Structure 1
Amino acid sequence: MDKFLLQQQVLERLAVDLLQVEQAARAAHETATHEENIAENKYDTLGLEAAYLASGQARRAEAIRQVMVDWRQFRPRPYEASKGIQLGALVCLLDADNNKQQQLFLGPAGGSMKLLGGTQPVQVISSEAPLGRALLGKCEGDEVAIQVAANRQQFEVLRVC
């Protein structure tokens, strides 16, 4: 699986998200500033609510832009067994409970999404996610456990590249 192609897919998905958020921000701004939405009394809050929404959408757009900068600057390196799993690793895990395999791509924050790496789904996670944190420094054959609420999940690291 090509890490560069996965990175490109993340950037493409983020670009689509950014476009949608920008469109939503413009629509909310237009609603907030439209002359028909001028408050006629203290209970007429449509314009105010739209202004809050536009402001939130603008902040979300800026956050996506920053995530895109981080992903553009990100350079996944080949796996080095002496260092264990690091940012940029492509990891195959075996879930101990149901014997299912899953592919994970450990990347910068903000890119959590599911992609297709060839024919297999790949979950993109950050090192800030509980599973991402637990994977750092682990090697092939190691076991990884995380606590999610009252459930303890255990995995085995099958492959890393």
Structure 2
Amino acid sequence: MDKFLLQQQVLERLADDLLQVEQAVRVAHETATHEENIAENKYDTLGLEASYLAAGQARRAEAIRQAMASWRQFRARPYDAGKGIQLGALVCLVDADDKQQQLFLGPDGGSMTLLSGTQLIQVVSGEAPLGRAMLGKCEGDEVTIQVGSVRQVFEVVRVW
């Protein structure tokens, strides 16, 4: 799997997300400022609600821009067993049910799934609980995270 191509997929997905969010900002702003949505009484809140939505969408757009900047500056290095798993690592984990998952540990903007050939790869931020738990681990090590009352245990099968 080519880490550079995965990084490009992340940037493309973030760019698509940014376009959608910017369109949502425009629509919410137009709704908030449209003359038909001027409040006629204290219970007429459509314009106010649209302005809150526009502000939230604008914050989301800025977060996506920051994630894009992080991914543009990011340079994935080859795996170094002496340092263990670091940002940029591709990791194969297996759980107690022998279910494997492929992960790409990145700087930001996780929670997206990429496709490399026929292989699904989950992008995980180094700040996510699973990302933090993997840092410094090596092949054969155990990775444990607590999700609510459930303790999940994985084995690192392969890192590249």
Residue matched to 2:35: 35
Segments of 5+ residues of structure 2 without an aligned counterpart are none
Cα distance in 2, alignment partners of residues 148 and 55 from structure 1: 31
TM-score w.r.t. structure 2 length? 0.97
Residue identity in the other structure for 1:124 = V
Residue matched to 1:57: 57
Q: Secondary structure at the match of 2:40?
A: coil
> Which aligned pairs between 1:134-149 and structure 2 lie closer than 5 A?
134-149=133-148
TM-score w.r.t. structure 1 length? 0.97
Residue 160 in structure 1 maps to residue 153 in structure 2: no
Cα distance in 1, alignment partners of residues 151 and 21 from structure 2: 36
Segments of 5+ residues of structure 1 without an aligned counterpart are none
Cα distance in 2, alignment partners of residues 43 and 124 from structure 1: 44
Q: Which string of whole-angstrom CA distances, capped at 9 and with x for unpartnered residues, describes residues 105-143 of structure 1?
A: 000122321111221100000111111111111111111
Contact 1:140 1:158 (8 Å CA) reproduced = yes
Percent identical pairs in the alignment equals 82
Q: Which runs of 4+ in 1 moved over 6 A?
A: none
Question: What count of residue pairs does the alignment treat as equivalent?
Answer: 160
Residue identity in the other structure for 1:61 = A
- Please state how far the C-alpha of 1:16 moved relative to its aligned partner: 0.7
- Please state how far the C-alpha of 1:37 moved relative to its aligned partner: 0.7
Cα distance in 2, alignment partners of residues 147 and 40 from structure 1: 51
Task: State the Cα RMSD in Å.
Answer: 0.8
- Please state how far the C-alpha of 1:149 moved relative to its aligned partner: 1.1
Q: Which string of whole-angstrom CA distances, capped at 9 and with x for unpartnered residues, describes residues 29-84 of structure 1?
A: 00111111111111111111111111111111111101100010010000000000
> Which aligned pairs between 1:5-154 and structure 2 lie closer than 5 A?
5-96=5-96, 98-154=97-153
Cα distance in 2, alignment partners of residues 130 and 88 from structure 1: 16
Cα distance in 2, alignment partners of residues 146 and 48 from structure 1: 41
